[in-house]
């Protein structure tokens, strides 16, 4: 498996934001190349019915020399299956899942990749800036994913899916769980932590998250949350355990702390 990062962007009916996401991903690949790593951007379109497909064809022409690949799914696979499909198609060791309405901060992706390589991490995540609307001109409401792994993650998720994963470890795990797609991010974090895999926090901004009306972060999934409790912490004992990922932090200036 080659050293580098594959940035995977599933999209469905996001004509107004996909170009921004792709542009940030292309810039991130260039930032990786400046550090001696390779990269690629894989967009998977889920049968969009607005102008997304036409726009993607234009982006293919614009970035044809910049490692952009666009896959047009024959049917709508949904977010979770599209991520898993992109995972299987990816060429590189690092996997970054980027939603089509968000963006990655290009210059900080190499830092996260370095953290993953130096620590053999299953996943590395950083700060995310949460905006109140789809525009960078709107106000920043808060930080997301702003602290290292702690046992409280078994009571509720606070780490977003916009993170860097080790492809082989994610494949060994079976990718994203498709039984509870709305909480697949949380299920993956709980699985990695329960299995003793390393999940590291890097205290720099990895990306920008925009709170849209139908975004998953704004939705309520009570029954599925109960299913996560039953699956990973039925006896409510996780808070008493010490997990390998607890408080793992990689600081760009000094390394692991």
Could you report the per-residue pLDDT of 54-111, keeping only the tens digit for each? 999 999 999 989 999 999 999 999 999 999 999 999 999 999 999 999 999 999 999 9
- Closest by CA position to 93, among listed 3, 186, 191: 3
Higher pLDDT, residue 234 or 22: 22
Number of neighbours of residue 90 by Cβ within 10 angstroms: 25
- Determine if residue 120 is left, alpha or beta; phi over 0 gives left, psi from -120 to 50 gives alpha, anything else beta: left
pLDDT confidence band for 252 (50 / 70 / 90) = confident
Query: Residue 135: its pLDDT value, please?
Result: 60
- Residue 218 pLDDT > 60: no
Average pLDDT over the chain, rounded to an integer: 88
Which residue in this structure is represented by tokens 């920008």? Answer: 208
Q: Where are the beta strands (DSSP E) in 184-246?
A: 199-210
Higher pLDDT, residue 43 or 234: 43
pLDDT confidence band for 36 (50 / 70 / 90) = very high
Six-digit token pair at 187?
A: 């299920």
Which residue in this structure is represented by tokens 């408080």? Answer: 247
Q: Which residues contact 134 (CB under 8 A, 6 or more apart)?
A: 16, 17, 101, 210, 212
- Residue 179 pLDDT > 90: no
Q: Which of 118-127, 185-194, 224-233 has the highest mean pLDDT?
A: 118-127
* Architecture of the domain delimited by 2-256: Alpha-Beta Complex (3.90)
Report the greatest alpha carbon distance in the chain.
54
Buried b (16+ CB within 10 A) or exposed e, 5-35: bbbbbbbbbbbebbbbbbbbbbbbbebbeee
Contact between residue 186 and residue 123 where contact means Cβ atoms under 8 Å apart: no
Q: Which residues contact 169 (CB under 8 A, 6 or more apart)?
A: 122, 197
pLDDT confidence band for 243 (50 / 70 / 90) = confident
- Per-residue pLDDT of 95-148, as tens digits, reads 999 999 999 999 999 999 999 999 999 999 999 998 876 565 555 667 777 789
Query: Residue 104: its pLDDT value, please?
Result: 98
Query: Residue 240: its pLDDT value, please?
Result: 59
Query: Residue 221: its pLDDT value, please?
Result: 58
- Residue 50 pLDDT > 50: yes
């Amino acid at each position: 498996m080659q050293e580098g990062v594959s940035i995977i962007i599933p999209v469905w009916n996001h004509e107004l934001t996909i170009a921004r996401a792709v542009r940030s991903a292309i810039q991130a690949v260039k930032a990786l190349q400046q550090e001696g790593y390779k990269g690629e951007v894989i967009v998977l379109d889920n049968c969009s019915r607005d102008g997304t497909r036409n726009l993607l064809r234009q982006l293919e022409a614009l970035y044809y020399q910049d490692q952009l690949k666009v896959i047009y799914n024959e049917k709508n696979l949904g977010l979770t299956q599209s991520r898993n499909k992109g995972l299987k198609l990816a060429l590189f060791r690092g996997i970054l899942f980027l939603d089509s309405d968000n963006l990655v901060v290009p210059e900080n992706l190499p830092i996260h990749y370095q953290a993953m390589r130096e620590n053999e991490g299953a996943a590395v995540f950083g700060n995310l800036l949460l905006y109140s609307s789809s525009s960078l001109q709107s106000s920043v409401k808060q930080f997301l994913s702003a602290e290292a792994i702690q046992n409280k993650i078994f009571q509720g998720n606070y780490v977003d899916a916009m993170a860097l994963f080790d492809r082989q470890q994610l494949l060994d795990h079976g990718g994203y769980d498709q039984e509870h797609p709305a909480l697949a991010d949380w299920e993956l974090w709980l699985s990695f932590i329960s299995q003793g895999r390393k999940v590291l926090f890097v205290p720099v901004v990895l990306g920008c998250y925009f709170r849209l009306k139908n975004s998953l972060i704004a939705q309520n999934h009570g029954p599925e949350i109960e299913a996560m409790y039953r699956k990973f912490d039925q006896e409510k004992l996780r808070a008493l355990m010490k997990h390998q990922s607890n408080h793992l932090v990689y600081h760009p200036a000094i390394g692991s702390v």
